[in-house]
Structure 1
Amino acid sequence: MLKPEKLVLIGLDAPIAPRIYDYAMKGHLPNIKRLINRGVYFRNCMVPYPTITPPNWTSIVTGARIGTHGITCFNMHKPGMPLDHTYSAFDSRDCRAQYIWEAIEETGEPVLIVNYPSTWPPRGKNVIQIGGAGLALNEWRIAPGLERVEVGRYAAKYGVTICDGMLFSSDEYPLAAKINLREGGEWKNLPSGVKNIREAEINLYFPRALYRVKHTSWLLLALDYGSGFTEIVLSKARDFSSAFARLKRGEWSQLIKDIFETEKGEFKAAFKVKLIELSRDCSKIKLHVYPIGALSG
C-alpha cells in the first residue's frame, strides 16, 4: 500500500448529516459517496456543546474540548468586560490549544489553510492561510475598523469585503431591494426577434460592507421574444452588447469580475448572480447577487 504524502481536511459548516448521507447514497453527491465507500463513515458522533461553528471547528483541529481550547460560543465574553458586551469568537489568539497544523509545522512540513473558521490571524511560520476570520472568505468578524471594546478585542460586529449577498425582487422582502420595472428605453444592439422589453435600475446597497463603497448601479433588461418574458441581461449602459450577464430563470451567471471603488481605494472583486424568478408577464422577478468578494486585501 502506498503511503499518502498529503492530508486534506474538508469541512462543511452546518449541514444536516443524515441528508448528506442520503443524497450521497442516492448518487446526488457522487464524490462524497466515493469518500464514504473508500473510507470510514461515523454515525452519532459525540460533539462539543453548544453545537455551533467556532467551538466545534476548533475542537476538530485541536482534539480538545471547549473547556480546554477556550472557544466556548459564537461570541466571547472576558472577565472585566461590560456585561452587555461580547466579541466574535473567530480570533485564533483566544485558542489555548495547539492546532493540528502547528504540530505538523514542527515536523517541517508546509500547511495550506483555506477559510477555516476561527483561525485568524494565522498561527505558525510555515503556514499559508486564506480567510478564517469569518464564515466566508471575504467575511471579517475580527478586523481593524470593527468596534473595539474596553477589554478583549472586538465587539460582535463584522464586515465583508466587498459586501454580503443582495436580493432584488418585485415583492417586498426583509433586507432586500425592490425592483420597479418599466417600459424599456432605447437600447442598442438588441437581438433580432425581441418583441417587448422592460427595464429597471438596480442600485447596489452593499450590505455589511467593511469599507464604504461608492454608489454603483446596473441596468436590468427583461426580454420578450413573443411568448412572454424569458430572459434578462445586466449591463452598465443601454447597449445589449455590453451586458455582463445574460440569464434565464434558474440560471447562474459565469464568474463576473469588476472594480469597486471604496473609501480604502479600488478593489478588484468577483461574484455571480442568479435569476431566481421571472414570470412570463414580467410581474414577478427575483435576482440574487452572490457576496462580492475582493480578490486582494
Structure 2
Amino acid sequence: MKRVFVVGIDALNPKLLLKLVEDGELPNFKMLMEIGGFSKALSALPAQTPENWTSIATGAWPGTHGIATWGRRFPNVPVTEYFGDESMSSNLCRAEYLWEALARRGLKSVLLNFVGYPPTTDKTVHIDWFWRPGRWYFEICSAACYLSRDSLKDLTDAGAPVKRMLEQALLVPVEITSKTEGWRSLPESKSQPLSFRMILRPVRQGKDVTFEGLLIDEKGEGYDTLLICKEKDPEKALCRLKTGQWGSF
C-alpha cells in the first residue's frame, strides 16, 4: 500500500528554505523535495496559523470552515461565549478534514503536532496534539496531571515530550510522604495515611494556590481513597475520590 507523508512548517519562508537547501544545510529536506514534491502556499486571509492550517487540512476557505484568528467568533454571539475555545479544535471546524475523507474509504492517518484535536474518527491517530483538551484562552490555571516523583522516574525514557510538559506545568510531580503532622482528625485507614501538597500556578500572573492531599487505605487492599483539602482538615475536604472518579470542585 502506498503512503503519503506530508510535512508542513508554520511560518517558514520558502525562499529561506530553498536557500538553505542550496547551501547544503538541509540535506533531509533536499531529499524529500527530490523524491516528492515542494510547493509554495497562498495564505488565506488573515494570514495566521489557525485558519491557514485548517484550510490546508480541509481544502476550504475560512468562510467555509469557520475558523478565523486565534479565538472562535460567531455572528451575533457574545465574544465570551466562544472566543475562549481554541480555534484549531475539531469541535469548531465546520468543514471535513482530509483524514475524515480518508477514513470514509477505510484509510488510516497519523497526525503529529497538527490541528484537528480531539479525534473525530477512530481511523486517525493524534500524537502530541496541537492543543490539549480543556484549554481555554481565559483560564486562570491550566489543567495538569499530578503524579508522584517515583512515578516520574518511570517516564524518564520518554524524553522531550515529558520535559516539555514539566516545563509548561502540565505534568507536576508531588512528594508523597507518610508524615501527617498538622493534620486534624485523620480518617481511619488500614495503612499509614500518606500526605502530599499540590501547588496550582496561574498561567500568567497572580499567587500560587496550595491544596493539601491525603491518601487513605479503607479496605486494607492498598490506597484507594484520595482527599483534596484547602487546609489540613479531612472534614473540610473539597472532594473525596475513588479511582476513576471526578471531583465536583
TM-score normalized with structure 1 length? 0.46
Give the one of 82, 86, 102 matched to 2:100.
102
C-alpha contact (below 8 Å) 2:144/2:172 kept by paired residues: no
C-alpha contact (below 8 Å) 1:211/1:263 kept by paired residues: no
1:14 and 1:91 mapped to 2: Cα distance? Answer: 20
1:95 and 1:121 mapped to 2: Cα distance? Answer: 11
1:38 aligns with 2:28: no
Give the one of 56, 59, 66 matched to 2:62.
66
C-alpha contact (below 8 Å) 1:211/1:262 kept by paired residues: no
Match of 2:169? 209
For residues 83-232 of structure 1, the aligned pairs below 5 Å read 86-87=83-84, 88-117=86-115, 119-134=116-131, 140=132, 142-143=133-134, 146=135, 154-157=136-139, 159=142, 208-210=168-170, 213-214=173-174
Match of 2:16? 19
User: CA offsets, 1:54-82, max 9 Å, x none?
Assistant: 11111111100110011111111334334
2:119 and 2:31 mapped to 1: Cα distance? Answer: 32
Match of 1:6? 3
1:26/1:35 CA distance change after superposition, 3 Å:
same
User: CA offsets, 1:206-248, max 9 Å, x none?
Assistant: 6642465548xxxxxxxxxxxxxxxxxxxxxxxxxxxxxxxxx
Task: Give the aligned length.
Answer: 157
Amino acid at match of 2:98: I
Match of 1:293? none
Higher relative contact order (Cα pairs below 8 Å, separated by 6+ residues):
1
1:121/1:83 CA distance change after superposition, 3 Å:
closer
Give the one of 44, 47, 51 matched to 1:48.
44
The structure where helix makes up a greater share of residues is: 2
Q: CA deviation at 1:48?
A: 0.5
Amino acid at match of 1:9: V
What secondary structure does 1:113 align onto? strand
Long gaps (5+) in structure 2: 146-165, 176-195, 200-249
2:122 and 2:129 mapped to 1: Cα distance? Answer: 16
What secondary structure does 1:92 align onto? coil
1:41/1:113 CA distance change after superposition, 3 Å:
closer
User: CA offsets, 1:74-96, max 9 Å, x none?
Assistant: 11133433469722212101111
2:197 and 2:94 mapped to 1: Cα distance? Answer: 37
Give the one of 76, 81, 85 matched to 2:78.
81
Amino acid at match of 1:46: L
For residues 193-272 of structure 1, the aligned pairs below 5 Å read 208-210=168-170, 213-214=173-174, 263=198
Amino acid at match of 1:209: A
What secondary structure does 1:61 align onto? helix
TM-score normalized with structure 2 length? 0.53
Aligned-residue CA RMSD (Å): 3.2
1:69 and 1:60 mapped to 2: Cα distance? Answer: 11
